[in-house]
Amino acid sequence: MSILINKNTKLIVQGITGRDGSFHTGKMNEYGTQVVAGISPGKEGTNVNGIPVYNTVAKAVKETGANTSIVFVPAQFAADAVAEASEAGIELVICISEGIPTLDIIKIIPILEKNGTKMIGPNCPGLISPGKSMVGILPVNIFKEGHVGLISRSGTLTYEMVDQLTAKGIGQSTCIGIGGDPIIGLHYKELLTMFENDDETKAIVLCGEIGGDAEEQAAAFIKENITKPVVAFIAGQSAPPGKRMGHAGALIISGSGTAAEKIKAFEAAGVKVAKEPSEMPVLIAEALKQ
């Protein structure tokens, strides 16, 4: 098993003819992900590295039976692209695009809910089920098949964590970058539940950061619902209030959303928290032994 994506994932790439879209399509294809179609309005009938291009997602889904989509279109058109995928019956949309206006995302949330579409991101690096499928912009060489599920709000921090795990021989079931924006699709709770129900996953890494109270909620949720060991890390312990730390969502407002509160919440819920990334493989190894 694994969660969300696997060998049966049939992917379309929205914005396949763009620079990032075509580059990462190649990378995903190389990794073995089934990329079945690309979307680029007006370019139907052409192909990108042998992958057929369609004008609309609806047509692509009809012709190829795609169930997953990755969105590389520029920020101002990205929410529309997600909505298009959802209305076309795509079950899982991974939105890589960064800088999407928050209200654009808020406006499409009810469309996703109506259609039962899952969204990862926006402003995320995607996800990988090592050895099975990669949908995103992740550097596949650092990942290794195994039993740790990873959920993270950031990209390179995820790579750092994974690299450290892999270096210690600890493989991963699925690793998901959920995105650094304030409002995103699948969040800790949904993903924790999926990992809890995934046979292949034996322990879970949760990389949070400052801003909002999703980590506090996740902590309470873990205490009540998750039996598998979870180890957390929180980025931004030294960030001052009122300053946005790169990610649109990484912001301490009026003293709420601090790393200290989040760490406290995890510890109160019995979740170990790594002090720095290098401590993560140690804590995970301990957890896996138990």
Partner 1 sequence: MNIHEYSAKELFAKFKIPIQNEIVCSTPEEVAAAADKIGLPVVVKAQVLTGGRGKAGGVKFTKTKNEAIEAANNILGMKIKNLIVKKVLVCEAAAIAKEYYVGMVNDRNTKSVLLMLSAEGGVEIEEVAKTYPEKIIKISVNPQTGLLPFQAREALFNIMTDGNEVRQAADILVKLYSLYVHSDCSLAEINPLVVDKSGKVIALDAKINFDDNALYRHKAFEELADYTEDEKLEIDAKEKGLAYVKLDGEIGCMVNGAGLAMTTMDVINLYGGTPANFLDIGGSSNPQKVIHAMEFLLNDKNVKGVMINIFGGITRCDDVARGLIEAFSKMNVNVPVVIRLSGTNAAEGRELLKGNDKLMPAETMSEAAQKIIAAIK
Q: Does 80 bind partner 1 (CB under 8 A)?
A: yes
The verdict on whether 147 is a catalytic residue reads: no
**Segment lying near partner 1 (by CB under 8 A), choices 4-12, 146-154, 192-200, 221-229:** 146-154
Smallest distance, partner 1 to C-beta of residue 79, A: 9
Q: Does 57 bind partner 1 (CB under 8 A)?
A: yes
**Segment lying near partner 1 (by CB under 8 A), choices 4-12, 30-38, 69-77, 221-229:** 69-77
Subset of 168-187 contacting partner 1 (CB under 8 A):
180, 182-183
Q: Does 32 bind partner 1 (CB under 8 A)?
A: no
Which ranges in the chain belong to alpha helices (H)? 19-31, 57-64, 75-87, 102-115, 156-167, 188-196, 214-225, 259-268, 280-289
Residue closer to partner 1 (CB basis): 32 or 101:
101
Q: Which of 91, 190, 196, 213 binds partner 1 (CB under 8 A)?
A: 213
Supply the DSSP string of 187-201, one letter for each residue: -HHHHHHHHHT-TT-
Q: Does 16 bind partner 1 (CB under 8 A)?
A: no
Residue closer to partner 1 (CB basis): 149 or 202:
149
Q: Does 71 bind partner 1 (CB under 8 A)?
A: no
Q: Does 264 bind partner 1 (CB under 8 A)?
A: no
**Long-range Cβ pairs for the range 162-167 (8 Å, 24+):** 164/277, 164/278, 164/280, 164/281, 165/205, 165/280, 165/281, 165/284, 166/142, 167/281
Residue closer to partner 1 (CB basis): 42 or 290:
42
Contact 12, 68 (CB under 8 A): yes
Q: Of residues 24, 147, 187, 247, which has the active-site annotation?
A: 247
Paired strand residues for 251: none
Distance (Å, whole) CA 222 – CA 214: 12
Subset of 216-235 contacting partner 1 (CB under 8 A):
217, 233, 235
Pairing of strands 145-152, 203-209: parallel
Q: Does 278 bind partner 1 (CB under 8 A)?
A: yes
Contact 37, 64 (CB under 8 A): yes
**Which tokens go with 276?**
């720095």
Q: Which of 65, 99, 169, 241 binds partner 1 (CB under 8 A)?
A: 99
Q: Choose among 187, 168, 174, 164: nearest CA to 130.
A: 174
List residues with catalytic annotation. Answer: 247
